[in-house]
Amino acid sequence: MPALLDLQLAHLVLAVHLGVIVFNVAGLIVVPLGAWRRWRWVRGCVWRAAHLLSMAVVAAQAALGRACFLTLWQSALMQDAGQRGYTAGLIQTWIDHLIFWNVPLAVFTVIYLAVGAYTLALWWWVPPRCRRVRAQPSSKASAASSTSGQSP
Q: What is the domain range of residue 12?
A: 3-126
Q: Map residue 44 onto helix, strand or coil.
A: strand
- Structural domains counted in the chain: 1
Q: Is residue 137 part of a domain?
A: no
pTM (2 d.p.): 0.73
Q: Is residue 9 part of a domain?
A: yes
**Residuewise pLDDT in 10s, the chain (152 residues):** 788 898 889 888 888 888 998 999 999 999 999 999 999 999 999 999 999 999 999 999 999 988 889 989 988 998 888 877 666 676 667 655 654 446 788 888 899 999 999 999 999 999 999 987 666 666 555 555 555 555 55
Q: Is residue 146 part of a domain?
A: no
